[in-house]
Amino acid sequence: MKTVKILPICILVMALMIQQAKAQYQIEIKDPSSLVRVGMDPHPTDSTDIALAYTLLGALDNNNVDSIAYVRDQWHKKADANFTKDKAYSSLDYLLSRYLCDLSNVKIEKRDVLTEDLYSYFMNDACSHLKDYLVLKYELNNYRPRSVKEYIQQRTFYEDMLMFNDPNREQWDKTDEVLKNIPLHKGDKIVDVGCGFGYNSWRFSNIVGKTGTVYSTDTEASYVDYFARLLKRNNIKNIHPITSTSNDLSVNDSVDVIFMSSLYHILYTWSREDERSSFLKSIKKRLKQGGYIVIVDNVAQNGRELNNCHVNPRLVEAQLGYWGFEPISDICLSEQRYMLVFRHNDNYIPNITVKAATSNPILNIQSQKSVIHIGSLDSYDITDRGVDAAQYVYDFMGNEQTELADIAIEKYKELLPTENFGGEYSALQWLCEVKKADTETRKQMLEDRLARSFYHKLTDDSCKVIRYYLLHKYKLGNDSIRMMSDSILEKSGEVGRTHRSYLEDYILALNPRRPQWEHTDSLIAHLNIVDGETIADIGCGSGFFTDKFSRLVGEKGKVYAIEIKDEHINTLNEYLNNECIKNVSVIKGMDNAIELPEQVDKMFMCSLYHVLYGVNSDADRDKYLQSLVKLLKPNGELIIVDNGPVDDDTLPYHGPYISRELIEYQLRFYGLHLVDYYQIIPQRYMLKFKRSN
């Protein structure tokens, strides 16, 4: 009898597992806008901002009411005009308005604990923190940071506090609507993930009461510590601040609700696959069966998204669905914001409805992986073993003791099969091998003109460039040594970071071992380049493919190398001049258009489209792609090479990726149809498009 009863249950469980494995979410692509965006620099500054900051800095020193009021009025206008961009203007408007009342002895009714704390933090002690913020953000009075790390951390601290604890936040975040719809009750336990400085946690604590608990988690320890001190000063007992990690909720309790505001677009696009999986596992472990996940995030607004970021709610629904979270409600908070509520249900099976016949493409999502990843390169490169190997390279390049090179080479042999696929490890290994080689062997290894240029750029002048890069990239030595290194190269602040980003791109792209992992020769063969063709190499960097194209099109052909970053442009021009290459023209690129003196036979784009899709605004990308199409000859081809997600048993590319369907479906709206698809390696693919007739 036991066997008879157990067997059907086993079969049912297996059937459920199979059905879940085959689950397929479908998203209809109705227009060319991107499904997700994590735009860069949502708070840019201009000359007007700097002038106002200087005016205010002087006015605060002598309490010049008229000047303070003038800046306040200008920031009030900016708060309205930049509603979706920079929430700091709203907070600054409030702080200066209240400060003017204080100067005029006008009594203001006190507000909640967080608003009072914000005001005292920035305006006490002769407005010391506000002045410091102005100097840091606008780099006033020839400000130069003592260390780039400290500069970024402190500026971000100020900006996040002004944004997250904005006294007028209800206007853009619709907090009252969130509180009305969140499934939270007296006595419940809730985790406020990415709590910042406690804005939502404070409001949740009033709902759950003394018998409930709010766990306020954030990966920024300085934010958590600040909030903990505030709670202690105000004797608040039912909120528990916790410093979490990127791969763990860090809460050792079973909870009723987990809340994430303005965070899932980061989790979806910025977190590594392994980090996100570990994090969601920890959520599943701590959330009660029947408990709720609440997601508040941004709606796409054609470039007017809050902080330049958004994620399509259907992407969130698909990813969480594969983790066993059942969608309960989808609430429109405003034109800019939405709220999703999910229930933890391990028996949940998505009810997938096949879309009716439509001319629009349908994106099928068949796993919990994100369809696009825009994370920083550092998120994949820096590991303890990577730092260990880099230290040996750094030391060898400093004194040329070959035994150090041998150790580094062996360490990279161990690392390459397990991490950093397509990254810089093999380039560093190659540099050690060439540097330690005898004269004849080195000559053979440097026969290729691009490899020779690569080697000398990094190792000439006592290996100054490669040692500088390793010192900062892997944070070798200590802060004072790195600061001295910056000073020697006359690099600091933003300039230093830009320079190191350039070097990282240079080493990745021009790695002489790149053809081995990328199968570059096979990729080039599929391009079918013929003598005399014109090719635009878009986002050419320092010229890895530009150099190869110039050899293939011959003297009658032409290569237009298009690049935005000045250091890459300078490096490529220097290389072309040194090698007397005449059939290449280097063109300074733009974010929202391509300009060429003629139409071309082929346009080539490698490891760039994920940026166009997930970083550029819809408006900029639209202008860019329209200009691209116009510059293709009637039978011309657009070739896109990018990285894709891989199966769990395959080592992923070390950096960003994008599912090829996102590219294909978006380009259909620009009259470009796919004519060839080539899976170069599991991690990288090539798409070839032609203009539709």
Over 50: is that where the pLDDT of 488 sits?
Answer: no
Q: Identify whether 24 is part of a domain.
A: no
What does the buried/exposed string (b/e) look like for 372-401 if buried means 16 or more CB atoms within 10 Å of the residue's CB? bbbbebebbbeeeebeebbbbbbbbbeeee
- Can you tell me the distance from the alpha carbon of 505 to that of 331, in angstroms, rounded to the nearest whole number? 42
pLDDT at residue 475, as a whole number = 87
Q: Is the pLDDT of residue 549 over 80?
A: yes
Query: Are 403 and 506 in the same domain?
Result: yes
pLDDT bucket at 479, cuts 50 / 70 / 90: low
* Domain shared by 645 and 527, yes or no: yes
Query: Same domain for 189 and 336?
Result: yes
CB contact at 8 A, 642 and 374: no
Largest CA distance in the chain: 90
pLDDT reading at 376 higher than 50: yes
In the numeric block, which tokens belong to residue 343? Answer: 């229930």
Q: Do 234 and 265 fall within a single domain?
A: yes
Q: Please write the tens of the pLDDT for every residue from 256-289.
A: 999 999 999 999 999 988 899 999 999 999 999 9
Spatial distance between the Cα atoms of 215 and 240, rounded to a whole number of angstroms: 5
Whether residue 195 sits in one domain with residue 310: yes
End position of a domain, from candidates 491, 510, 529: 510
The answer to whether residues 141 and 80 belong to one domain is yes
Is the predicted pLDDT of residue 19 greater than 80, yes or no?
no
CB atoms within 10 A of CB 45: 13
Q: What is the total count of domains within the chain?
A: 4
Residue 87, pLDDT above cutoff 70: no
| Whether residues 346 and 203 fall in one domain | yes
Query: Could you give the CA distance from residue 453 to residue 463 in angstroms, rounded to a whole number?
Result: 14
**Cβ contact 320:264 at 8 Å:** no
Domain extent for 599: 519-691
Instruction: Specify the range with the lowest mean pLDDT, choosing from 139-153, 243-257, 477-491, 528-542.
Output: 477-491
Question: In this structure, are strands 325-332 and 255-261 parallel, antiparallel, or unpaired?
Answer: unpaired
Please list the residues that pair with 243 across neighbouring strands.
218
Please tell me whether residues 389 and 506 are part of one structural domain: yes
**According to the model, what pLDDT value does residue 663 have?**
98
What band does 457 get if pLDDT is binned at 50, 70 and 90?
very high
Domain membership flag for residue 635: yes
Residue 492 in this model has a pLDDT that exceeds 50:
no
Q: What is the mean pLDDT of residues 298-311?
A: 86
**pLDDT at 529 > cutoff 80:** yes
299 inside domain: yes
Looking at residue 497, its pLDDT comes to 66
The model's pTM? 0.90
Query: Which of 2-11, 59-68, 69-78, 663-672 shows the lowest mean pLDDT across its residues?
Result: 2-11
Residue 314 and residue 179 share a domain: yes
Q: Is residue 195 located within the same domain as residue 273?
A: yes
β-bridge mates for residue 361, sequence order: none
Asked if 134 and 86 sit in the same domain, the reply is: yes
pLDDT value at 484 more than 70: no
For residue 124, count CB atoms less than 10 angstroms from its CB and return exposed for 0-12, middle for 13-18, buried for 19 or more.
Answer: exposed
pLDDT at 11 over 60: no
Q: Which of 346-355, 438-447, 583-592 has the lowest mean pLDDT?
A: 346-355
Given this model, what pLDDT does residue 23 score?
56
Res 377: pLDDT: 47
Is residue 19 in a domain? Answer: no
* pLDDT score of 13: 42
Q: What pLDDT, on the 0 to 100 scale, is given for residue 4?
A: 36
Question: Which pLDDT does position 358 carry in this prediction?
Answer: 78
Tell me: do 479 and 363 sit in the same domain.
no
**Which tops the pLDDT comparison, 302 or 344?**
344
Give the sign of the dihedral formed by CA 566, CA 567, CA 568, CA 572: positive
| Domain final residue pick, 312, 343, 367 | 367
Q: Which range is most confident: 8-12, 307-311, 679-683?
A: 679-683
384 part of a folded domain:
yes
pLDDT at 142: 82
In a domain, 314, yes or no: yes
Q: Which of 301, 333, 367 is at the close of a domain?
A: 367
Report phi then psi at 657, rounded to 5.
Answer: -150, 165
Flag whether 15 is in a domain.
no
- Over the chain, what is the mean pLDDT? 89
Q: How much is the average pLDDT of 647-655?
A: 90
Q: Summarize pLDDT for 177-232 with one digit per residue, the tens.
A: 999 999 999 999 999 999 999 999 999 999 999 999 999 999 999 999 999 999 99
Residue at 527 is within a domain = yes
Q: Alpha helix (H) ranges present in 199-301?
A: 199-208, 221-233, 264-269, 273-286
Q: What is the DSSP string of 247-269?
A: TB----S-EEEEEEES-HHHHHH
Percent of the chain at pLDDT exceeding 90? 74
Question: Cα angle at 509 between 151 and 590, to 5 degrees?
Answer: 70
The tens digit of pLDDT for each residue in 601-645 reads 999 999 999 999 999 989 999 999 999 999 999 999 999 999 999
**pLDDT score of 1 more than 70:** no
Mean pLDDT of 414-420: 92
Lowest-confidence region among 142-146, 438-442, 650-654: 142-146
* pLDDT per residue as tens digits for the range 552-602: 999 999 999 999 999 999 999 999 999 999 999 999 999 889 999 999 999
Tokens standing for residue 150: 């400290």
How confident is residue 143, by pLDDT bands cut at 50, 70 and 90?
confident
Which is more confident, 485 or 155? 155
Which CATH number is 271's domain given?
A: 3.40.50.150
Q: How confident is the model at residue 18 (pLDDT cuts 50, 70, 90)?
A: very low
